[in-house]
Structure 1
Amino acid sequence: MSLNSAIPFLVLFHSCIIMVTLASDPDPVFDFCIPTTISKTTCKNSSLATVEDFVFPGIKHPGKFTETGFASIPVNVKVFPGLNTLGMSLARADFEVGGVNVPHFHPRATEVAYVLEGKIYSGFVDTKNKIFAKVIERGEVMVFPKGLVHFQMNVGDSRATILGSFDSENPGLVKIPSAVFGSEIKEELLEKAFGLSSEEIAKLRKKLTPH
């Protein structure tokens, strides 16, 4: 896994001490680091690496579709060890007609989405609640800035496919509906926040709570 480096500085100014910390993902110090089966934080001997460590065949076909008509296959360091320390990952996303990738965000990465097939209504919302959205088609690209809520929907008359690229080996994923209603947030808070009845919240929780 990528390690964060932090360099502290002490600055003296008129008898005051100010602590400043700079943090970033360091550049790799090896050509590559294939994790060992014993520890994900140590690399196996580079002489034992093979080309198979750097090939992932798992996105040749769509994944399993959800009830929203959406299927996603993440290609991150958890499933593709060859990405370890390289600071990047991918995801294949497929949409049935009318399929929706619900509003979500990636806490650790910016995403660039490339449309392989179809027509996708795609967009994101910034921190001022301004929406940036349009229909993008085959061959077009859209970027979703790190940490901002974004979404997609197939508005064409056939299946659509997107390839997403991330600047993190493990971008993370927070789906807004399940994070809000599928968690253990107190019901009273949700009632006040969304103006919903306890019965409506119960229905949403039953639908969105992981089983």
Structure 2
Amino acid sequence: MHLLNEVKMSFPALFLIFSFLFSFSNAAVQDFCVADYSAPEGPAGYSCKKEAKVTVNDFVFSGLGVAGNTSNIIKAAVTPATASVFPGLNGLGVSLLRADLAPGGVIPFHTHPGASELALVVDGTICAGFVSSANNVYFKTLQKGDIMVFPQGLLHFQINTGKTKALFYASFSSAIPGLQILDYALFKNNLPTEIIAETTFLDPAVIKKLKGVLGGTN
């Protein structure tokens, strides 16, 4: 009787374990989950397009062969190849981007909440780095052929420190890495200047100037 009670008590745990394993076995059987942009998006990503509607074009993306327009305030352009524009990546845990930087161009401090980043310099000279959660700074000047990794969720940046254009490609450990740019989070919204001043110790006049440049209000 005691043994039977133990079995009965452990059944919910066993059920959860087998359900978990079953869900993984189903995921392994499914070859792919091409994003269906017309269907609702859930926490796990885009819904799957019916296989009968999938074509080879869903698995091909040609946007990374063209240089981006760097005529902007940061003198840089980023061309993403993530699941939001490349449906065949959905659910596969990988994605790419192309970054073009004019001389003096910068990719400001930003984070990717959903992925680590691996950047390969193809042309030019780039100073790149990140800040750990212990506030240790790791940065280095990268030359053509150099690779640097930026751990998931950590603030990082890239600057073209050379006299010619720079180009790097970055890969991510997620089809939807996410993006939050620190400058935009602070100065491209309607968060009151007083709150930003209190939380960053910046002068209100400086904050208002940056809001004017980046499009923020209040």
Q: TM-score, normalised by structure 1?
A: 0.82
Give the structure 1 partner of residue 73 of structure 2.
Answer: 67
Shift, 1:207, TM fit? 1.3
Unaligned runs of 5+ in 2: 1-11, 14-19, 40-45
Deviation of 1:151 (Å): 0.4
Q: Deviations over 1:81-130 (max 9, x none)?
A: 01011111111001101111101110110000001111100110101111
> Quick check: 60-69 or 121-130, which moved more?
60-69
Structure 2 CA distance for partners of 1:141 and 1:78, relative to 1, 3 Å: same
Aligned residues: 189
Instruction: Answer 1 or 2: which has greater strand percent.
Output: 1
1:57 aligns with 2:95: no
**Of 106, 110, 124, the match for 1:104:** 110
Shift of 1:184: 2.8
RMSD (CA atoms) = 2.2
Counterpart AA for 1:35: A
Instruction: Work out whether 1:170 is the aligned partner of 2:176.
Output: yes
Gaps of 5+ in 1: 1-8, 11-21
Higher fraction of helix:
2
Which protein has the larger Cα radius of gyration, Structure 1 or Structure 2? Answer: 2
CA contact (8 A) 2:113 2:152 kept: yes
Secondary structure in 2 matching 1:59? helix
Bigger mean CA deviation after superposition, 137-146 or 188-197? 188-197
Q: Kindly provide the CA deviation profile for residues 158-200 of structure 1, in whole angstroms up to 9, marking residues without a partner as x.
A: 1110100001111111100110122232322222233333332
Between the aligned partners of 2:33 and 2:106, the Cα distance in structure 1 is 36
Aligned residues with identical type, % of pairs: 38
Map 1:1-211; keep pairs closer than 5 Å: 27-36=27-36, 38-39=38-39, 40-45=46-51, 47-65=52-70, 66-209=72-215
Aligned equivalents of 1:179 and 1:108: distance in 2? 17
Judge conservation of contact 1:28–1:85 (CA < 8 Å) in 2: no
